[in-house]
Structure 1
Amino acid sequence: MLLAPGVHAADSRASGVAAVAAANPYERGPAPSTASIEALRGPYAVSETSVSSLAVTGFGGGTVYYPTSTSDGTFGAVVISPGFTALQSSIAWLGPRLASQGFVVFTIDTNTTLDQPDSRGRQLLAALDYLTQRSTVRGRVDATRLGVMGHSMGGGGTLEAAKSRPSLKAAVPLTAWNTDKTWPEITTPTLVIGADGDTIAPVATHSEPFYESLPASLDKAYLELNGATHFTPNASNTTIAKYGIAWLKRFIDDDTRYEQFLCPIPRPSLTIAEYRGSCPLGS
Structure 2
Amino acid sequence: MAGLSASVAAAIAFSTLAAPGATAADNPYERGPAPTNSSIEALRGPYAVSRTSVSSLAVTGFGGGTIYYPTTTSDGTFGAVVITPGFTAYESSISWLGERLASQGFVVFTIDTITTADQPAQRGDEMLAAADYLTQRSSARSRVDATRVALMGHSMGGGGTLEAAKDRPSVKAIIPMTPWNLDKTWPEVRTPTLIVGAEADAVAPVASHSIPFYTSLPSSTEKAYLELDNASHFAPNTSNTTIAKYSISWLKRWVDNDTRYSQFLCPGPSTGLFSDVSDYRNTCAF
TM-score bucket (shorter structure): over 0.9
Letter in 2 for 1:150: G
Q: Deviations over 1:8-46 (max 9, x none)?
A: 999778734531332111000000000001000000000
Q: What secondary structure, in the 3-state scheme, does the structure 2 residue paired with 1:233 have? A: helix
Q: 1:280 to 1:272 in 2, by over 3 A?
A: same
Q: 1:60 to 1:267 in 2, by over 3 A?
A: same
Letter in 2 for 1:85: T
Q: 1:122 to 1:72 in 2, by over 3 A?
A: same
1:273 counterpart (267, 270, 278) = 278
Cα distance in 2 for partners of 1:13, 1:131 equals 42
> Is 2:194 the partner of 1:196?
no
Determine the structure 2 residue equivalent to 1:15.
Answer: 18
Q: What secondary structure, in the 3-state scheme, does the structure 2 residue paired with 1:72 have? A: coil
The total of aligned residue pairs comes to 280
Determine the structure 1 residue equivalent to 2:215.
Answer: 212
Determine the structure 1 residue equivalent to 2:168.
Answer: 165
Cα distance in 2 for partners of 1:187, 1:55 equals 33
Cα distance in 1 for partners of 2:103, 2:14 equals 31
Percentage of identical aligned residues: 69
Q: 1:271 to 1:17 in 2, by over 3 A?
A: same
Letter in 2 for 1:137: A
Letter in 2 for 1:260: Q
1:125 counterpart (121, 125, 128) = 128
Q: 1:111 to 1:19 in 2, by over 3 A?
A: same
> Is 2:32 the partner of 1:35?
no
Cα distance in 2 for partners of 1:81, 1:70 equals 26
Cα distance in 2 for partners of 1:62, 1:254 equals 27
Cα distance in 2 for partners of 1:124, 1:13 equals 46
Cα distance in 1 for partners of 2:183, 2:217 equals 12
Q: 1:100 to 1:13 in 2, by over 3 A?
A: farther
Determine the structure 2 residue equivalent to 1:142.
Answer: 145
1:76 counterpart (76, 79, 94) = 79
Letter in 1 for 2:44: R
Letter in 1 for 2:157: G
Q: What secondary structure, in the 3-state scheme, does the structure 2 residue paired with 1:210 have? A: helix
> Is 2:278 the partner of 1:251?
no
Determine the structure 2 residue equivalent to 1:97.
Answer: 100
Cα distance in 1 for partners of 2:151, 2:172 equals 9
Letter in 2 for 1:171: I
Determine the structure 1 residue equivalent to 2:230.
Answer: 227
Q: Deviations over 1:46-84 (max 9, x none)?
A: 000000001100000000000000111000000000000
The structural deviation recorded for 1:6 is 9.9
2:110 counterpart (107, 110, 122) = 107
Q: 1:276 to 1:6 in 2, by over 3 A?
A: closer
Determine the structure 1 residue equivalent to 2:55.
Answer: 52
So what's the TM-score if we normalise by structure 2?
Answer: 0.94
Cα distance in 1 for partners of 2:33, 2:105 equals 10
Deviating runs (4+, > 4 A) in structure 1?
2-14
Cα distance in 1 for partners of 2:177, 2:10 equals 52
The structural deviation recorded for 1:266 is 2.5
Q: Deviations over 1:131-176 (max 9, x none)?
A: 0000001011001111000000000001111111000110000000
Greater shift, 11-20 or 36-45, is seen at 11-20
**Conserved 8 A contact 1:3-1:9:** no
Structure possessing the higher radius of gyration over alpha carbons? 2
Letter in 1 for 2:70: P
Q: 1:34 to 1:11 in 2, by over 3 A?
A: same
Q: What secondary structure, in the 3-state scheme, does the structure 2 residue paired with 1:139 have? A: helix
So what's the TM-score if we normalise by structure 1?
Answer: 0.95
